Structure 1
Amino acid sequence: MSHTAHIPSHRKPRRSASKMALRAGVTGGVLSTLAVAGASGAANAAEPVTQTIELPTLTTDLSTQVAQSADATQQAAANYQLQAERDEAFANAAKQAKKDQAAAEKKAEAKKKAEAEAAAKEKAEREAAQQAASRSAERTTLAATGSSTGTATTGASTASTTVAAPASGSVGAVISFLKAQVGDAYVMGGTGPNSWDCSGLVQAAFKQAGVDLPRTSQEQSTFGTPVSLSNIQVGDILYWGGAGSAYHVGVYIGGGQYLDAANPSKGVVIQDLSGYPASGAVRAL
């Protein structure tokens, strides 16, 4: 016996027969399992085995949920498409409205401009008619004044005249200026203030009325509106020679008389038209 056998804590517990038998059985079972596994492994190594995995079958509730989700997705896509189409239609409508508004404004502006032009034209025509009537009355007055104050002679003699007070209006300004130059010398190329040639005197006279005549008698014979000699009025330009090739010009002052820078021997005079008939006439006023 061991020298510690009498001490209880140092004694080894005895194993019962049943525990030993259980352990022997477990050990044998493990060895048998390993043997079977080894044999199975060897068999598997010798011949591959194909294994089929079956997916679980969807239940009725899950199928319904999937279908509803697909429908919702499709509906959302349809809603997005509809909204995009609406947005595009709205943008197109806005663009068209802007174009229509611009066209309407342009049309209104054109109409307003046309109305303004028509009003301006009507006003100009009315003023022109009033001015024409005023000039006609003025010419009548000037013609009567010229007949009563002027005594004209033809040939080399100098005409004597009493210059009337300046008449109002453009025609009156022209006639008054011309009569104020009576007695001045004739000088070829003269443009005043004390000597003139025929076209230089006529040009200076019409400048008093704000009319810029060309310089030469040829050009003056085609300036303005042609009038027949039977319809001439005070202030009309008379020319001798052809229109565009005239060699002399003067101004009709009424009463069958005209005023011109005749020649070096006469100077600026008033003459009787019947003594030296003109070839034609133009109206610049």
Structure 2
Amino acid sequence: MNIKQIVSTSAAVVAAGAMCVCVAPAAFADSAQSGTVVSSRSFPKAGSSQTNLLAESTSTSTDDGSNWGGLENLDVPQTESPAEKQAALEAAQKAADEAAAAQTAAEEAASRSEQRTAIPQVDLGKMTGSGAELAKYATQFQGSPYVAAGNTPSGWDCSGFVQYVFAQFGISLPRSSGAQATVGTPVGSIAEAQPGDILANGIHAAIYIGNGQVINALNPYQGTQITDLSVFGGNAYSIRRVM
């Protein structure tokens, strides 16, 4: 190969190299102008997660000898549901109401006992006459229950009690206390009253047993008792004799 051929070959190689240098930037420029970013990954592709977020979690077992710093011995209080809390409140209120009712009943029983002790007892056995017999008969019903509109030993109100007792002696009385205040013969004062007389007004009726005392049906809490004349609450009453 002569010198002319060598020079021609070298020039051709240089020209080819220059063309490569010019083409590469042009390619990158075209990519940039088109908005496309070309990159290569220099790290391995990560595997996709296989976790099932909807799956139920499960407990794991531990060795019996595991030490959890005392956490395994903690006494964790159990919480109550609203329904359980309401039920507990209702049970506590019921117990309190029952205790209060029992206390009230005990106090009323004690009061009745004290009242009976404070009232001087009348010895009807020394009295004679039909009125005394009726009064003595009436006293056997101490403790009988009070029932509104009732007129039998199973339960009566004030006028029902008076009506029942007199009926056992063949005497028919009207049903109301106001009407009973008009029967028989009037008695002028309590000093003239005798056992078996009726003491009555439009509110209450009772049977006089002597010594300023009457036997009468009071109310659902006290039942039938012997009391003094304060049972009329200071209101006027009639004294009527029918025997």
When normalised by structure 1's length, the TM-score is: 0.39
User: Greater helix share, 1 or 2?
Assistant: 1
TM, length-normalised to structure 2: 0.46
Structure with greater Cα Rg:
1
